[in-house]
Structure 1
Amino acid sequence: MSDTTIKKPRPKHLDLKVIRLPLPGFVSILHRVSGAGLFLMLPVLLWLFGSSVGSPEAMAQAKSVVANPLVKLVLFGLLWAYLHHFCAGIRFLLLDMHKGLDLPTARKSAGAVLAVSLTLTVLIGAKIFLG
């Protein structure tokens, strides 16, 4: 190393309220959060599925549970988590194949993941929950 290089002082701590995360980093964190949420809600989803195919009485019970507005909100969140995880997963597979690694393309693909997942969530959620 030459003596002409200037070293920036490294922060002693990371103030998370001050740091502004770039869009690709935000999408990456949301990908992890959505994956964890889907994994943690798997027992509930399996119970709902098992109830829906079990017996007519169990189906009626599952319908009454899903009719609750709070449960609908949670299921809407799970729908977003699934769609975001799917879209971001495709983006990360393309990045693993060295497609779209340059910064402008990475920012555009991160924005596309957010736009597509939110749009699909609204469209599919409206179709499911509003009839």
Structure 2
Amino acid sequence: MKKQRPVNLDLTTISMPVTATASILHRVTGVAMFFALIFVIWAWAVSLSSAEGFALVKEVMTSFVAKFIAWGTITMLLYHLLGGIRHLIMDMGHWEELESGKLSAKITIALWIVLAVLAGVWLWF
């Protein structure tokens, strides 16, 4: 039996709940941190190889691109940490109701934005 259901292929019209956004952001930041490790491990390995390597990494880290990558990595780590704490609290049986789950997702995202701005200020100034 074939059912004729409406098909919506325009993803921009779909409104995701804040809880889904928070969960997806947690997964995306986990994957992004995995790829950011390439930059982190390179900087760590070169800086520990010699005094010249340390000077090279120090020089590279003064560029805008390197600071932006470092800020992005710190920002991803901050959200993943906040989202992970939120998920752990939910695993303990709290914030499982719809309203408290929405509120915790909003607080997590808001706190992440504040911390991301503070990390940018700390890194660039």
TM-score category by the smaller chain?
0.7 to 0.9
TM-score, length basis structure 1: 0.84
Identity over aligned pairs, percent: 34
- TM-score scaled by length of structure 2: 0.87
* Distance of 1:14 and 1:89 partners within structure 2: 32
Count residues in correspondence. 122
| Matches of 2:6 and 2:83, distance apart in 1 | 31
Q: Which residue does 1:18 correspond to in 2?
A: 13
Question: For structure 1, which segment, 57-66 or 117-126, has the greater mean C-alpha deviation from structure 2 after superposition?
Answer: 117-126
Distance change >3 Å, CA 92–CA 45, structure 1 → 2: same
Identify which of 65, 69, 76 aligns with 1:74. Answer: 69
Structure 2 unaligned residues grouped into runs of 5+: none
Aligned partners of 1:66 and 1:29: how far apart in 2? 30
RMSD over aligned CA atoms reads: 1.6
1:5 corresponds in structure 2 to none
- TM-fit CA distance, 1:10: 4.5
Compute the displacement of 1:21 (Å).
0.6
Higher radius of gyration, 1 or 2 = 1
Q: Give 1:53's aligned amino acid.
A: L
Partner Cα separation in structure 1 for residue 119 and residue 72 of structure 2? 12
**TM-aligned CA deviation for residue 19 of structure 1:** 0.4
Deviation track 1:81-127 (CA, whole Å, cap 9, x = no partner) reads 00000000000111112210111111111111112222222223322
Matches of 1:15 and 1:45 in 2, distance apart? Answer: 38
